[in-house]
Structure 1
């Protein structure tokens, strides 16, 4: 037998997958630059540095973000190649807190909500006065989504050469809703000041003239326009949301033409909190009040309001009825 004495220096340990020390410490990315997301396309996000449309970069989502959803309008921090050259790629390492959100579900029975746009100031609901005929239901649903998401709604009526806008606009008078017209022959002097310095989402059915309006507001946008065969049918002329810089400052976000706008994620109080006087009143409602008034909700504090506030109660309850119909 050998008389050799072995010690630890004679032992060889093969490094394995777990041999490298693991740490939960993540880089702080102190050199990250602020940017705004303007496009989303198959795992790539188009961003503009410091909100400057002349400084575009393409970015991917950093591994440490996991599946954190990032949508048009999100404020993000980016690192890496920020040159904006073709084939260059930056990394999104942080997503900022969202100030507002425009959400929707596939339909009123689908509990899964999807954020369409983040951080928008306004929602411009684009409705044609004819061809296709206007639908109050779509406007009401869009208003509910705007109020619940913290966006200020604006009703924009197109094709005003085919019908008088007053009768349709009058149906929303008690909501103090801002209304403007943008027919093909109408000057944009009334529309552009509403958008300057703001981040505005444009929402509407296919065929109502939304892309035509975008092309007028942003002449170099080259958004596709075309005829469709009716609401919810035919060719959708915009297939992805995209933020476009306005000449006078601000952004418009053109969204695809929608067929449905589910509201399964929205609660009754989400709507009423958008009206300061109504929000204050419902604090005195009995527990479990649905705020619809008698006979369904006897003792609702909204019934005690008078004057212009009473008109807003009726208008708000009409929105709540739309919300309940889908529940």
Structure 2
């Protein structure tokens, strides 16, 4: 093949930087955007509830590529918001969050993982047996919730197997509300393990137990966390029957449950026929809850009485049991006799939380 002659028609001119149009940083105002609540996330697609009734699917706009959108976020969307099959809207803004529940993989991991946004209450679901309760995990969840400005509800399941008294004594001094659920044999053995409130062993949550939990969730956005096998999915199925969350069993050898929830999802809490009052956010079972993002001083602010006393501590005081001249110890010693047990229990519980954050022995 011979060499081809080149002439002026082969010349390709590149525009100079001076002559090319500069890229603008201005973005459209999207004044026609509508607001939606993120109820589910699945591989880059977001399920949103718009106007309390319309469910649509959306993706993030290019300018939000590196911004994390999570369940519980309120977002502004444009594009096709009809909700018709195959339609796809575009998320262009994330509204300011009222709370952000975070965790890290461990206490040295600098990367924060946002669990949910805009939740009012963290519900820590813990079995009293099968699997055995792990107070260290509960402590860490309490710390993360207080750091996020959320209230805490400790939900103790499987009270038919063990007493809840010990855990009540540990957490009620911290201002943590405690609710207990019971199980009983099902009246209808034909029901499957995924029926509302039914466990794989044929036991069912008692109606009184379910209603007591429901009463603590009314009017709130509550996020449920817990180890696999503690009965979290069973509880959600009882609270929201149409949820049909998969339930599992505890391994007899390891004492651990099999993870059944694979992604967070927000579910409307029914309180009456056709009426809703609150949201329940189910999360995948967790095995660890790192607290690298939590500042010790921020944790102390969650306890108004202790925070006020700690202002008298020497600079750099760790507030742990071995801290010299800690004003919290003086506060205990100066307690009136009738207040001493309650104060001592509260300080002991706080120091247990503090040690879970710092990795020290309380």
**TM-score normalised by structure 1 residue count:** 0.89
Deviates more, 1:15-24 or 1:41-50: 15-24
Question: Following superposition of structure 1 onto structure 2, how do residues 201-216 of structure 1 map, counting pairs within 5 Å?
Answer: 201-216=223-238
* Structure 1 partner of 2:121: 122
Matched, 1:219 2:252: no
Match in the other structure for 1:8: none
Give 1:38 shift. 0.9
- Give the 3-state SS of the residue equivalent to 2:67 in structure 1: coil
Q: 1:301: which partner in 2?
A: 327
**How much does 1:17 deviate?**
9.2
Contact 1:102 1:149 (C-alpha < 8 Å) held by counterparts? yes
Report the counterpart of residue 244 of structure 1 in structure 2.
267
Residues 17/235 of structure 1: CA separation in 2 closer, same or farther (3 Å cut): farther
Moved over 6 A (4+): none
What CA deviation, in whole Å up to 9, does each residue of 1:37-89 have, x standing for no partner?
Answer: 11111111111114x1x211111111122311111111111111111111111
Alignment CA distance shift 1:24-1:111 (3 Å): closer
Q: Distance in 1 between matches of 2:330 and 2:319?
A: 12
Which ranges in structure 1 are unaligned for 5 or more consecutive residues?
1-11
Larger displacement relative to structure 2 (228-237 or 191-200):
228-237
State the shift of 1:302 in Å: 2.2
Cα distance change of structure 1 residues 49 and 211 upon mapping to structure 2, 3 Å threshold: same
Report what 2:66 is aligned to: 67
Deviations 1:3-34 (A, max 9, x none): xxxxxxxxx99674963453222100111111
Which of 305, 316, 321 aligns to 2:350? It is 316
Deviates further, 117-126 or 265-274: 265-274
SS at match of 2:241: coil
Maintained 8 Å contact 1:205/1:232? no
User: How far apart are the structure 1 equivalents of 2:356 and 2:180?
Assistant: 25
Correspondence for 1:4: none
Q: Structure 2, unaligned stretches of length 5 or more? A: 1-10, 184-204, 272-276
How many residue pairs were aligned?
312
Distance 1:132 1:311 in 2: 26
- How has the CA–CA distance of structure 1 residues 28 and 243 changed in structure 2, closer, same or farther, with 3 Å as cutoff? same
Cα distance per residue 1:174-204 (max 9 Å; x no partner): 1121100123333222111111111001011
Aligned with 2:311: secondary structure? helix
Cα 1:326–1:99 change in 2 (3 A) is farther
Which stretch shifts more, 77-86 or 283-292?
283-292
Contact 2:172/2:178 (8 A) holds in 1? no
Within 2, Cα distance between the matches of 1:151 and 1:285?
Answer: 27
TM-score, reference length from structure 2: 0.80
Query: Does the CA-based 8 Å contact 1:206-1:232 persist in structure 2?
Result: no
> Which residue does the alignment assign to 2:202?
none
Q: Please state if 1:49 is matched with 2:72.
A: no
